[in-house]
Structure 1
Amino acid sequence: MELSAVLAAASGLGFGFALIVAIGAQNAFVLRQGLRGEHVFAVVAVCAISDIVLILVGISGLGAALAAAPALITAIRYAGAAFLFCYGLLAARRALSSATLVAEPGSTVALGATVATALALTWLNPHVYLDTVLLLGSFANTYAGADRWFLGLGAMASSVLWFTGLGFGARRLGPLFARPMAWRILDILIAVTMVALAFGLVFAQ
């Protein structure tokens, strides 16, 4: 492998981490599922594979076509805002509920519903398109030839590593979340994050 390809892959890895390591809808959901030990592999797989597909779309040049369709971006933005707002309300309801917040052994939410939520948090979030498709795609286009694809591989690796570490690494926080108050605080933070993202999408210029 040529040095330029290695450097491109390293750039993609770093750039990918810079985009993905932030408080957002996906990360909050993956963290919560990891803490609960509920369908973790499925959630990690959905988020990582979705990112890989979006990165491929951006690097292939389709990001420019998406940028040329502002009406589509607007529709996705409002649909995503509505979904994030509703998810935030559900998190707030969990936080304020008097029911037991500590996760019981075993799954309490069906696999299909969990996967559907992970898909919605990914594909209905305009930030995913703006960051992964448009921003990463534009950055990749500064590289010539095959180096552009090596950069994409680096970015894909960052997604797989991040979601895997976040989902399965969350179990190390298990003792902390053995107390109901810890879950209440987590859900409050998730609710605030989701609602803030929703309002940010609605009032984005």
Structure 2
Amino acid sequence: MLFIEGYLNGLFISAGLIIAIGAQNAFILGQSLKREHHFSAALVCMACDAVLIVGGIFGLAVLLEDSPLGMQVARWGGVAFLVGYACLALRRAITPHVLQASTQPARSRRSVLLTTLAVTLLNPHVYIDTVVLIGAIGAQQEFPPIFAIGAVSASVLWFFSLALAGSRLAPWLARPTTWRIIDGVVAIMMLGVAWGLASP
């Protein structure tokens, strides 16, 4: 019974933190809509979350809390990346073009995966959520490994569902208006997250 309780605690706490509107989720949804290495990108997010969650629960939370310089570097690096990504999305939104998957130049898997890593690892909120918050809570559990399995399960279920649901929306890819709206929303979202990171 305690094992089930520990698993569910990890599952729900992690889900509450991961299933939030942010740069990482917006990027995976965008890749899924384009059917452009979306499952590979989702797998990178799952793997990163798993490493950070396990590392946080088993000791990295203390290291990050004692390294304000490291957090500041991650913070401003994330702000710069998010602003740059928002500018690219705005340019796509205001430039007339037909966004059909078959007519757009495909990005390499390497490019998509590197961008996924940047969106994930340059966002300080990822470390705060997975390493500090989940890590601190998980370290206090009676069975930390069971809690960790539950927390990682939430990431796996969320990103797999996000990739799968996004790919179901592929028929809308042929509509330029749809992509204008998506790019505009992504740009606003990126700027909003960047502002939140830059604010005291």
Q: TM-score, normalised by structure 1?
A: 0.93
1:103 aligns with 2:79: no
- The gaps in structure 2 that reach 5 residues or longer are none
Cα distance per residue 1:60-90 (max 9 Å; x no partner): 0211111100011001100010001100111
Indicate if the aligned counterparts of 1:39 and 1:107 stay in contact, CA closer than 8 A.
no
124-133 or 103-112, which deviates more:
103-112
SS of the equivalent of 2:98 reads coil
2:2 to 1, 4, 19: 4
Partner of 2:166: 170
**Aligned mate of 1:197, from 188, 193, 198:** 193
Distance in structure 2 (CA, Å) of the matches to 1:44 and 1:171: 12
Residue 181 (str. 1) matches residue 177 (str. 2): yes
Shift of residue 106, structure 1, vs aligned partner: 8.0
Residues 71-90 of structure 1 correspond to what in structure 2 (within 5 A)?
71-90=69-88
For the Cα contact (< 8 Å) 1:101–1:184, is it kept in 2? no
- Kept in 2, the 8 Å contact 1:24–1:193? The answer is yes
Runs of 4+ in 1 over 2 A off after TM superposition: 101-107, 174-178
- The aligned counterpart of 1:43 is 41
Quote the offset at 1:41 in angstroms: 2.1
Match of 2:11 in 1: 13
Aligned to 1:91: 89
In 1, Cα distance between the equivalents of 2:153 and 2:33? 23
Deviates more, 1:123-132 or 1:134-143: 134-143
2:65 match: 67
| Structure 1 residue corresponding to 2:51, chosen from 44, 50, 53 | 53
- Which residue of 2 is the match for residue 161 of structure 1? 157
Letter in 1 for 2:99: L
CA distance in 1, matches of 2:179, 2:113: 21
Q: Is the 8 A contact 2:99 2:173 kept in 1?
A: no
Q: Deviations over 1:3-49 (max 9, x none)?
A: 11111001111111101111111100110111111112210111100
- Amino acid paired to 1:141: A
For each residue in 1:132-168, what CA deviation from the matched residue of structure 2 results, as whole angstroms up to 9, or x when unmatched? 1001011112212xx1111110010110111111012
1:111-190 correspondence runs (5 A)? 111-144=109-142, 147-190=143-186
Distance of aligned partners of 1:170 and 1:93 in 2 relative to their CA distance in 1, 3 Å threshold: same
Pair 107,33 (structure 1): closer, same or farther in 2 beyond 3 Å: farther
When the two structures are aligned, how many residues end up with a matched partner? 200
For residues 28 and 42 of structure 1, what CA distance do their matches in structure 2 show? 15
CA contact (8 A) 1:38 1:107 kept: no
Residue type of the partner of 2:15?
F
What is the SS of the residue equivalent to 2:168?
A: helix
User: Structure 1, unaligned stretches of length 5 or more?
Assistant: none
Identity %: 41
2: CA distance between counterparts of 1:38 and 1:141? 37
Question: Whole-Å Cα distance in 2 between the matches of residues 175 and 103 of structure 1?
Answer: 10
Q: Which amino acid is 1:50 matched to?
A: C
After superposition, the CA RMSD in angstroms is 1.3
Matched with 1:23 is 21
Q: Secondary structure in 2 aligned to 1:60?
A: helix
